[in-house]
């Protein structure tokens, strides 16, 4: 089982010093990947319900902020040579698909083909409103935006005509280093998300799951994959335990449950704390995974 690191970078820790320490620290210690989240704006007050906490509240204040993930990963690409570079999760339906496709393909080119593209439909209606995108039909919009991106990544002349987005014939170059395109990891726990994995994805990315919570969603995933003539072996199962503690026993349990990649949280606001947390993760998670 591979082990990656989920690193929220924002107001207070999105500094050049910490980014360099993240990239070099994660790579030098032998982790497989680094993953950055996305929210372009946050709010002091909001009505939307965050799906990964019992009280429906996001674990951050309005001024916590987040570094735009593809920008952050581009910086990390420049200070690393090996680690995979993942979005966890890129909010596809609230972004322009052409610019997103361009940012992903340029990152893949500059990193030598190291992008892991984690995608999701989003949960924060207020953020959609802030960027002028409808919250309604966001699942369909995600599918259409991904279809646009795939055409831009793989076709000599790209074109798409959907209900929610129309792309006239055009060309985008350079193409990604990875063929046919960087792996798409679909985030989300609903049947709709798992159907998106089966139709469009190379992986499923789940947040805040304990090992004992995985049998039911993986059973649903197996059933839905089968309906699309695919098998579990066709996709990578990635789980981020989020704020749940992980020790050697948990690592073994995640592996036995069918997890291919474990992405553990590392949240620090200075270099010394970051390096100490990474050392703890090596001892408690990375070494037991080997």
For the chain, which residues make up each domain, given as ranges?
A: 11-236
Q: What is the pTM of this model?
A: 0.97
> For residue 116, what pLDDT is reported?
98
> For residue 257, what pLDDT is reported?
97
The answer to whether the beta carbons of residues 93 and 192 sit under 8 Å apart is: no
Please count the CA atoms within 13 angstroms of the CA of 161 that sit on its side-chain side: 2
CA dist 245 and 239 (Å) reads: 13
The answer for residues whose C-beta is within 8 angstroms of residue 278's C-beta and 6 or more apart is: 5, 25, 26, 29, 266
> 85 φ, ψ to 5°?
-120, 110
Which H or E run includes 230? none
> For residue 170, what pLDDT is reported?
98
CA dist 68 and 26 (Å) reads: 19
Superfamily of domain 11-236: Luciferase-like domain (3.20.20.30)
The answer to whether the beta carbons of residues 75 and 24 sit under 8 Å apart is: no
**Site of tokens 């998300």:** 193
CA dist 35 and 235 (Å) reads: 18
The answer for residues whose C-beta is within 8 angstroms of residue 271's C-beta and 6 or more apart is: 17, 18, 21
For residue 89, is the peptide bond before it cis, meaning its omega torsion is within 30 degrees of 0? yes
Tens of pLDDT along the chain (290 residues) come to 999 999 999 999 999 999 999 999 999 999 999 999 999 999 999 999 999 998 999 999 999 999 999 999 999 999 999 999 999 999 999 999 999 999 999 999 999 999 999 999 999 999 999 999 999 999 999 999 999 999 999 999 999 999 999 999 999 999 999 999 999 999 999 999 999 999 999 999 999 999 999 999 999 999 999 999 999 999 999 999 999 999 999 999 999 999 999 999 999 999 999 999 999 999 999 999 98
For the chain, helix, strand, coil in percent to 5 are 40, 20, 40
Which H or E run includes 120? strand 115-120
DSSP string for 48-102: ---TTSTTS--SS-TTT----HHHHHHHHHHT-SS-EEEES-EEGGGS-HHHHHH
> For residue 195, what pLDDT is reported?
98
**R_g over Cα of the chain:** 18
> 185 φ, ψ to 5°?
-110, 115
The distance from CA 50 to its chain's CA centroid, rounded to whole angstroms, is 17
């Amino acid at each position: 089982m591979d082990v990656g690191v989920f690193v929220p970078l924002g107001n207070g820790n999105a500094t050049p010093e910490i980014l360099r320490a993240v990239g070099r620290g994660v790579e030098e210690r032998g982790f497989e990947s680094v993953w950055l989240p996305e929210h372009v704006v946050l709010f002091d007050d909001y009505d939307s319900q965050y799906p990964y906490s019992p009280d429906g509240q996001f674990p951050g204040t309005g001024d916590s902020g987040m570094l735009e993930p593809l920008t952050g990963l581009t910086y990390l690409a420049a200070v690393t040579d090996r680690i995979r570079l993942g979005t966890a999760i890129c909010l596809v339906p609230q972004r322009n698909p052409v610019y997103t496709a361009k940012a992903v393909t340029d990152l893949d080119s500059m990193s030598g083909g190291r992008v892991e593209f984690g995608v999701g439909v989003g949960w924060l209606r207020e953020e959609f409103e802030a960027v002028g995108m409808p919250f309604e039909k966001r699942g369909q919009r995600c599918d259409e935006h991904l279809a646009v991106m795939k055409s831009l990544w793989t076709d000599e002349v790209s074109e798409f005509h959907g209900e929610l987005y129309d792309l006239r014939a055009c060309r985008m170059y350079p193409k990604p280093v990875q063929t046919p395109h960087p792996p798409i990891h679909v985030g989300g726990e609903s049947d709709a998300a798992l159907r998106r994995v089966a139709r469009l994805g190379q992986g499923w990315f789940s947040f805040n799951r304990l090992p004992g919570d995985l049998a039911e969603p993986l059973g649903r995933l197996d059933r839905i994959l089968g309906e699309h003539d695919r098998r579990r072996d066709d996709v990578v199962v990635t789980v981020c335990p989020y704020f749940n503690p992980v020790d050697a026993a948990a690592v073994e349990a995640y592996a036995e449950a069918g997890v291919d990649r474990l992405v553990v949280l590392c949240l620090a606001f200075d270099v010394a704390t970051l390096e100490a947390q990474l050392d703890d993760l090596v001892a408690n998670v990375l070494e037991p995974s080997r």
